[in-house]
Amino acid sequence: MLRIFKMWRLKYKRAQLERNFEKSLMKLDVKKPSPYEFEELVASRHYALQDIENGIGSLKSTKLVKQAEALDVGLPPYPDDSMWDREEDGHYPWLSQKGRDHLRKQIHEEKVRRREARSWLEKIIIPLVTAIIGVGGIGWVVTHLHWR
């Protein structure tokens, strides 16, 4: 549940950053800035937005990794740069969009496989048990009526 609030907070910060950037851009436009001031504003927005997007990606990745571990689905290989993102220091990796799509597909396939494996129970065992209970019920009624 805490992860949901973190996600909402990050999305709110992203929206707030965009609003503040628009306001700052309008203020900067009025005072006729030098190219350096404009580039500084754009760069600061870019890095702040990148941090927020990294946080969102990390939260989504954590959720998928926990689902995959619960279903015993293998994670994409770590050194694959197309599947993993990481900060510049490289200490804390998380799944990229491509990696999350790949892992979602594997999770879905595992759930389908488990559902198909469970379907024999629904198709064979449950009707068989129902038939046995029905025959037993009919036998009880017949014997009960016969002894009266």
- 93, containing H or E segment: strand 93-95
Res 27 pLDDT > 90: no
pLDDT band at 17 (very low <50, low <70, confident <90, very high): very high
| First-last CA distance in the chain | 62
Buried b (16+ CB within 10 A) or exposed e, 70-97: eeebebbeeeeeebbbeeeeeeebbbbe
HSE at residue 130, side-chain half, CA atoms within 13 A, is 7
What percentage of the chain reaches a pLDDT higher than 70? 95
Q: Report pLDDT for 148.
A: 56
pLDDT band at 101 (very low <50, low <70, confident <90, very high): very high
pLDDT band at 16 (very low <50, low <70, confident <90, very high): very high
pTM: 0.68
Res 147 pLDDT > 70: no
Helices (H), the chain: 2-30, 35-71, 97-120, 126-146
Which single residue is written with the structure tokens 């709110």? 12
How many residues can be counted in the chain? 148
Q: Report pLDDT for 145.
A: 74
Amino acid at 67: Q
Amino acid at 93: P
**Neighbour count for residue 64 (Cβ, 10 Å):** 22
Output 86 or 64, whichever has higher pLDDT: 64
Which single residue is written with the structure tokens 């496989």? 113
Q: What is the mean pLDDT of residues 19-45?
A: 85
Digit-coded pLDDT (tens) for 108-121:
999 999 888 877 77
Q: Measured between alpha carbons, how far is 95 from 17 in angstroms, rounded to an integer?
A: 24
